Amino acid sequence: MSPLTRSVALVGVPTDIGAGHRGSSMGPEALRVARLGERLAKRGMHVVDRGNLVGPLNPWLPPTDGYRHLDAVVAWNTAVHDAVHAELAAGHLPIMLGGDHCLAIGSISAVARHCRETGKKLRVLWLDAHADFNTSQITPSGNIHGMPVACLCGYGPDVLTHIGGTVPATSPDVFRQIGIRSVDEGEKRFVHEVGIDIYDMRYIDEIGIKAAMEEALADVDADTHLHVSFDVDFLDPSIAPGVGTTVRGGPNYREAQLVMEMIADTGRVGSLDIVELNPAFDKRNQTAKLAVDLVESLFGKSTLMR
Ligand SMILES: [Mn+2]
């Protein structure tokens, strides 16, 4: 099926259980208010909104043994894993309406499992200001939204690394991290050690977003399942204030559009997380509207005469 006729399932994941600020639990509804479903339907996609997954409320406790809210994070991610795996098995393209970035543990472990079952090659494009490769030993905060990539590569508590049934869920070589500009000290050493492919803002400044994306998308072919994990803090805060963890010096509007357009050109997007949108920090829902605008581009809306 071509991406334009694909059936898309919107899956709300209203949680801030892994975050350092409350409020991303309101993200799914902000994306609906910004008309995500309607805009994708206009592009000719068949869109079904599954409503929201259900999980524990945020008790807002301090960390225990280097993790905050570990049991609740496991509950949310088990629900995400099961939902995403079922959608992919049914031939649908799941879009997670997050929710904080810990939900990628569930979604990507399900996508990796689906790829194993169908013989597809997985590539994950991690659009983010942060590497999200912390562990309980090196995390300054215990917030699990800073740990999903490490957990997916097998570095984390058993209850999280085992969610997809195979440990590790996937390997560092499937990831391409784009837009990175804030990495904790211990985390920096660890991502180098495991060899995650990182296109940080310094590199993007030096070679340009087009060349960086060409490298990140190299070798994507007809057998590739592309999963895009879009943390809204990837964007420069001047255009996207609605996140809890803004870091200045991110891609501007046109650079972000080009990233999405180049991913769309591959025609291989098979699943998507939209995470860390926090309406408590937003202004008149502008960040949600921008995220919807960019997701339209990710699914092929061209701004130019092409
Ligand atoms: Mn993130």
User: Which residues are paired to 123 by β-bridges?
Assistant: 226
Superfamily of domain 3-298: Ureohydrolase domain (3.40.800.10)
Domain boundaries, the chain: 3-298
What does each C-alpha distance from 8 to 48, 51, 121, 196 come to in angstroms? 6, 13, 21, 30
Residues with CB under 5 Å of ion ligand 1 are 101, 128, 132, 231
Catalytic residues: 101, 128, 130, 132, 145, 231, 233, 276
Cα distance between residue 10 and residue 36, in whole Å? 9
- Per DSSP (E only), the strands in 112-232 are 121-127, 175-180, 197-200, 224-231
Show pLDDT as tens, one digit a residue, over the chain (306 residues). Answer: 454 468 999 999 999 999 999 999 999 999 999 999 999 999 999 999 999 999 999 999 999 999 999 999 999 999 999 999 999 999 999 999 999 999 999 999 999 999 999 999 999 999 999 999 999 999 889 999 999 999 999 999 999 999 999 999 999 999 999 999 999 999 999 999 999 999 999 999 999 999 999 999 999 999 999 999 999 999 999 999 999 999 999 999 999 999 999 999 999 999 999 999 999 999 999 999 999 999 999 999 875 555
Cα(204) to centroid of ligand 1, in Å? 18
- The neighbour count for residue 218, using CB atoms within 10 Å, is 9
Decide: 211 and 201 in contact? Cβ < 8 Å: no
Cα(131) to centroid of ligand 1, in Å? 7
Structure confidence by residue, pLDDT tens digits, 200-241: 999 999 999 999 999 999 999 999 999 999 999 999 999 999
Structure confidence by residue, pLDDT tens digits, 125-137: 999 999 999 999 9
What does each C-alpha distance from 115 to 19, 93, 122, 168, 221 come to in angstroms? 29, 13, 6, 14, 14
φ, ψ at 240 (rounded to 5°): -135, 75
Cα(132) to centroid of ligand 1, in Å? 6
